[in-house]
Amino acid sequence: MEKKMKILSCLCSYKGCLSSRQANEIIQKYSSQCYPEDDVSQFPLADGGEGTLSCLSFLFPGRKIKEVYLPGPLRENRVKASYGILDNTMVIEVAQILGLSLNPGLCFDKTTSYGLGLLLKKGREMGFTSFLVGLGGSAIADEGAGARKALGFSFFDKEGKEVFPVSGNLLTIERRKMPTSIDTKEVSVTLLCDVKSTLFGKNGATYLFSGQKGAEKEKLPLYEKGRKHLNHLISQSIGKDVSSFPSSGAAGGLGAFFQRFFKTEATSGASYIREKGKREERRKGCDFVLLGEGHTDKSTLQGKSLFPVLQRAKKRKVKGVLLSGIIDEDIKDKRKKEGVAFFSPLHSSPTGNFSLTAKEDLKRAYSFFRTNINKA
């Protein structure tokens, strides 16, 4: 009879294939069927981006999930999004409304945060005074101007003509008008961020992230100028400049939007989920912790959500098992130093179509680990 193993499954999402929650459920169900002697529990991971709401709903079962239709990153396209309710807090995952996958053509210039503003407005009308907002994975870069439009702000160009703000036209805005009544003083917001980037500079919202959202490289200085222009107008109006605040550049400047107009606390999404979900308690007594993502490369070792889990497991002398879609050779070389006792790539080639076989590949990798467990 095989030795009973206590295993904590902490797989990240496999982008385009499986969410973190789906991947961990596959492992837990497969283990119960094929290795019933094992005690496998799961802890889905998220950092404020895609999958955050699903992760939180698993870790906190009392949370209610509601659906709503809203304008997506392209205002003319409506999307079905979910939001959560926990006590007096509305939980919003920005990626569900404004995510990159909702702008497949990467039409950067036309993207807007208008849909997010409508959901915030709905939340206030429902009586919520507390919001928990996951900021990662957005397709927009309008600095929250679209959200302000939904909340009743108006924007005008130099000729006095009203402008609908989008990521590509911020430089045309010369004046803004606040609504006659806007209630933000009693609203508190906790931002779950995947980056600490500020609004401007080489590590800011424009130069670090706009390219992956479809912005043309040669236009980046123009977009940066537009953001600085809008920031100047708003800062003068409210008497506060948040552009150097940590995470002000998160989600195309949405961090700055919340920091300007609401009582806001920005925190690491991964850390929040770890602490609130009491992951360290769940890990006690474990023999192994399972880790995995679509592609493990050197950026993983620079602080992505998988890496802190690995580091804490190493400190507790819990062996790490890496089951990623693709694992770069330099990671394989460093695995023992980083606390990875065993690894198994789910796909042997970066060019293979992992998305078609993800579920079976994940089961096969887990089975390979269990068969060779004495080598770990």
Span 277-320, pLDDT tens digits: 887 777 778 899 998 887 777 656 655 667 778 778 888 888 88
354 pLDDT exceeds 60? no
* Interstrand relation of 130-134 and 78-86 (parallel, antiparallel or unpaired): unpaired
Domain 6-43+278-375 top-level CATH class? alpha beta
147 pLDDT exceeds 80? yes
375 pLDDT exceeds 80? no
Residues in the chain: 376
Specify the pLDDT at position 157.
94
Helices 269-276 and 52-59: crossing angle in degrees, nearest 10, is 10
* Interstrand relation of 295-296 and 39-42 (parallel, antiparallel or unpaired): unpaired
Global model pTM greater than 0.75: yes
Amino acid, res. 30: Y
373 pLDDT exceeds 80? no
Span 229-279, pLDDT tens digits: 999 999 998 899 999 999 999 999 999 999 999 999 999 888 898 888 887
Assign 36 a pLDDT band (cuts: 50, 70, 90). very high
Instruction: Using CB atoms within 10 Å of the CB of residue 362, give its burial: 0 to 12 exposed, 13 to 18 middle, 19+ buried.
Output: buried
CATH topology of domain 52-270: Glycerate kinase, domain 2 (3.90.1510)
Nearest CA-CA partner of 21 in 56, 47, 67: 56
What are the boundaries of each domain within the chain? Answer: 6-43+278-375, 52-270
121 pLDDT exceeds 60? yes
Amino acid, res. 311: Q
Both structure tokens of 250: 């998160």
1 pLDDT exceeds 50? no
